[in-house]
A and B are shown apart, each in its own frame.
Chain A
Amino acid sequence: MRLRRLVVFSGVFCLVFWSPACRLHAESGDTSPALSAATLYNQGNAYARAGKPGLAVLNYERARLLAPADADIAANLATVRAAAHVAAPTPGGMARLLLSASPNVFAWVGMLGLLLAGFGFVVFVGARRWRGAAAAAIIGGGLGVATCVADVILCWPTLHAAVIITPETPVRVAPAPMSDSLFALHEAEVVRIEAAHEGFWLVRTTADRTGWVAVADLARIVP
């Protein structure tokens, strides 16, 4: 009896909490344009045709965040990178598996896992008869949460990555326009942002070199 009441209470709690939260989020005055994988992919194609590989790679990378399994995006991304003579980062096997779905999918998997584990834990504590099923639910939910956390860890570099959008971008020794240039980055190259200072970003390249790049010369994959 108590268990039934608990389940009903939890369900009502989720409904009551999530529906206003989702509505508030939808009505929060977000006027940014709607983004879809197709839109970003087409935009990347347009930039590629216009001879702007940096912006093309940027849009392909963004499209890939929304549709990681899309073969066209991967193919055009590889084509543009090859044309720009820029090496593509190669994720490992586990990373490939986790990057096969959108981060939002993993977010919902994590949320479902959290719900499942939470219900299981409450049942495990409160009802001795259902302890086996509750333990299974806790393990299953925990796996979902762990999958989500793993995706966060794997996506973390992408969330802090940026694409060079201007040709032969100078990488400077200090965040100042007149400082010495260490080396130059090719357009469409992907770098990792580590710090920011007055219009400059401290970046780390795939070759593990660091330096300061003007903000106008690169664009974050996840703005």
Chain B
Amino acid sequence: MRAVTEQGFRWLAVVLVWGLGCVQWATAAQSVLSAVLTPTQITVGQSSQLTVKTLGAGLEAIVLPTVAGLELRIVEQSHHLEMVHGVSLGTTTTRVSVTPLTAGVYAIPGLTPTAEPLVLRVSVDDTIGKPPPKATTAAAPARPRAGETIHLSADGSAFLRLSLPKREVFVGESVPVEIELGLRPGFVNSLNGLPTLTNADFTLNNLSRQPQRSERVVDGVGFAVLTWHSVVAPVRPGTFTLSVESPITIRQRLRPESEAKLEDQLGDPFMQNIYGKTVKKDIKVASPPVELDVLALPSEGRPATFSGAVGSFRITSELVPDKAAAGDPLSLRMRISGSGNFDRVDSEMLEHLDQWKTYPPKSSFAAGDSVGYQGEKSFEQALIASHAGSQTLPPLSFSFFDPEARRYATVTSTPLQVTITPAAGDPSAPVAISVPDGTSTSGGTPAPGSVAGGPAPTTGGLRPDHAVSGSSVRSLRPLYLQAPFLAGSAVLVLGFAGSAWRVGRVARGAADLQRRRVRRHSAIQRALAAGEAAAQARDSLAFCVAARELIDAQRPLVPDVDGQFANLHGGAVLPPELQELALIVDAQRYASAPPIAVDWSRWLETLRRAAGAREPT
């Protein structure tokens, strides 16, 4: 019962506080007769004037609101007595100087009679009249990045965060950074300056003049977040801790934090100021320190023309115009683009050039982003040719240190061709060129190929330029040292070696076969002669021996007699009488069979036919 009663009193107190607040706000709003802001659109560095006319004769009638990023300061206050319908009214006119610290769109609430906020648009010089940047108008609360923690100040009114893309940098290298300053509305009275580095070994360059504005909820509390993009550059090697700090004025509560939860819940700064006693206090909010390793630039391989540029750069050049008369000025432009410390990008361009008068170059920088980390630096040099003819300006080069590759690099532009014609009214144009028929003429452009044949006239001790034509190569390395050529040669050698081995093997086989055929032919002829002699002598045993030798003459090729016969005759088997003869011969020779009656004419014919059939073709 007692708990219920206490809870009821608490709710009653809340309602009373809320009601009193509303009454006071309504009273205050009603006391303001008018509030005019002029102008409503200014640039950074200018101030706008807020004129507030209130009833009464005291300053307590106006409570200046707190707007992060705006400095409101009362500069003048005057009292007037006016007669309206016979009634005297005392009014107070208060002039307030409104000075923005940064660009953006600001709403000044709680001053006009209709409770409509006054809107002040602050832009940089070149954006007047243009819509504000998206980041400024975007009201979507930003989310903290994964893996990053936010460290609030001791009183929880602000935070400052420094984001670096890497932890190892080289001396002089520009490193893009992001600085976020979170301000809790109602708790931060003013921002007293831009963030600065706490370490003197680094320089913070080009703080962007137009921070992004967003909102973020940290631990359930909303913060207005100002984000700057800039670059830091270390000035000496070593291991350092780096952080940023920013001066702000906060409203510090006098009551313990445990008793101030109600004001936190109300959220409205005016309500907090009214019902939570605060005092102003200047503090510096700092970001958590970040450890950085700063490496020295190597001394090995440092080009003589290295000017301290660290980053990644490209170079282009052009000559405008590419045709001119002697004595006319030409403009040689060199553009170095990329990312890095452009303040150290420098070049002397062409200091001395024979037959040319050169002037010191001028440079200009066009930033590609808000901090000047990316962009293009242009160098322009005036040149005047003193002699006519076709000339080539030497390529321009620029040396820098590439932190990604960790080495020095030199980029070179392409040589520029220019044709200089003789000046008007100058009959003594000094350029002489040869023509194919051996005569020479003055002025003009050298004819292609005119200098390759014979001794061409010299210009300043040098023979003139050649017309660029003919074949070109991609590499100066000779073909016989290039991998595709060597691989092709190796494959050719292997191919020829393999072909030779194969061809040699086939040729040796053919020769062996030829030799064997000749030997067989001789043996067959000998056996046939012996068989004919035996037949003439009617010597059956000798005939059988001769026939056997004739058959054996085939054995070195194929051991099987039937198969041999089949091979020799394209698959056909010899007549059966020859096979019968072979059997009889074997019987006569190895079984000592008695002589048989022989039909000499038929056997001799069979033997001759067999010998003829076996002759090599």
Contact = CB atoms under 8 A, between A and B. Distances in A.
Interface-centre pick from B355, B458, B471, B476 (highest chain A CB count, 10 A):
B476
27 contacts: A25-B482, A30-B475, A38-B468, A42-B392, A42-B417, A42-B466, A43-B392, A45-B464, A46-B395, A46-B415, A48-B462, A49-B354, A49-B356, A50-B353, A51-B353, A80-B462, A83-B461, A106-B478, A106-B480, A117-B496, A118-B492, A121-B496, A121-B500, A122-B499, A152-B478, A159-B477, A222-B477
A148 B480 contact: yes
Interface string B466-502: 1111111111111111101101110111011001100
B303 interface: yes
Contacts of B463: 45, 72, 75-76
B394 A46 contact: yes
Interface stretch (A6-14, A84-92, A202-210): A6-14
Contacts of B484: 21-22, 24-25
B57 interface: no
Interface-centre pick from A25, A49, A125, A200 (highest chain B CB count, 10 A):
A49
A50 B354 contact: yes
Nearest to B488: A21
A193 B75 CA distance: 78
Contacts of B165: none
B480 A32 contact: no
A114 B462 CA distance: 42
A46 B393 contact: yes
A59 to B, nearest CB: 9
B473 A66 contact: yes
Given A33-B414, A110-B480, A118-B493, A38 B394 contact: no
Interface-centre pick from A43, A45, A48, A221 (highest chain B CB count, 10 A):
A45
Interface in A26-48: 30, 32-39, 41-43, 45-48
Contacts of A70: 452
Nearest to B496: A118
Contacts of B465: 38, 41-42, 45
A36 B471 contact: yes
A153 B576 CA distance: 76
B300 A34 contact: no
Interface of B: 298-304, 350, 352-356, 391-395, 408, 414-415, 417, 451-452, 454-456, 458, 460-482, 484-485, 487-489, 491-493, 495-496, 499-500, 503-504, 506-507
A2 B506 contact: yes
Contacts of B475: 30, 32, 35
B468 A2 contact: no
Contact of A42 (B354, B452, B468, B477): B468
A216 B301 contact: yes
A65 interface: yes
B471 to A, nearest CB: 7
Given A46-B394, A49-B355, A107-B485, A199 B504 contact: no
A36 B408 contact: no
Contacts of B495: 10, 13, 118
Contact of A62 (B460, B476, B488): B476
Contacts of A125: 500, 503-504, 507
Contact of B503 (A43, A65, A126): A126
A93 interface: no
Main secondary structure of the interface of A (DSSP, over half): helix
Interface of A: 2, 6, 9-10, 13-14, 17-18, 21-22, 24-25, 30, 32-39, 41-43, 45-52, 55, 62, 65-66, 70-72, 75-76, 79-80, 83, 103-104, 106-108, 110-111, 114-115, 117-119, 121-122, 125-126, 128, 148, 151-152, 155, 159, 166, 177, 198-200, 214-216, 221-223
A200 B300 contact: yes
A114 B451 contact: no
A122 B503 contact: yes
Given A52-B394, A76-B463, A35 B479 contact: no
A17 B488 contact: yes
CB-CB nearest 5 A-B residue pairs:
A118-B496, A126-B503, A103-B478, A199-B300, A107-B479
Nearest to A126: B503
A156 to B, nearest CB: 10
A18 B472 contact: no
A30 B474 contact: yes
Contacts of B485: 107, 111
Contact of A38 (B298, B458, B469): B469
A79 B473 CA distance: 26
A198 B406 CA distance: 13
Given A103-B479, A104-B479, A21 B469 contact: no
A72 B434 CA distance: 13
Contacts of B471: 36
A114 B304 contact: no
Contacts of A122: 496, 499-500, 503
Contacts of B458: 75, 79
A79 B462 contact: yes
Given A36-B471, A103-B478, A215 B301 contact: yes
Contacts of A119: 496
Contact of A36 (B470, B478, B507): B470
B536 to A, nearest CB: 43
A132 to B, nearest CB: 17
Nearest to B415: A43
B394 A43 contact: yes
A147 to B, nearest CB: 11
Contact of A71 (B356, B392, B455, B478): B455
B442 to A, nearest CB: 19
Interface-centre pick from B352, B415, B466, B495 (highest chain A CB count, 10 A):
B466
B359 to A, nearest CB: 15
Contacts of B461: 79, 83
A76 B303 CA distance: 27
A104 B469 CA distance: 18
A1 B301 CA distance: 65
Nearest to B417: A42
Interface-centre pick from A9, A18, A25, A159 (highest chain B CB count, 10 A):
A25
A21 to B, nearest CB: 5
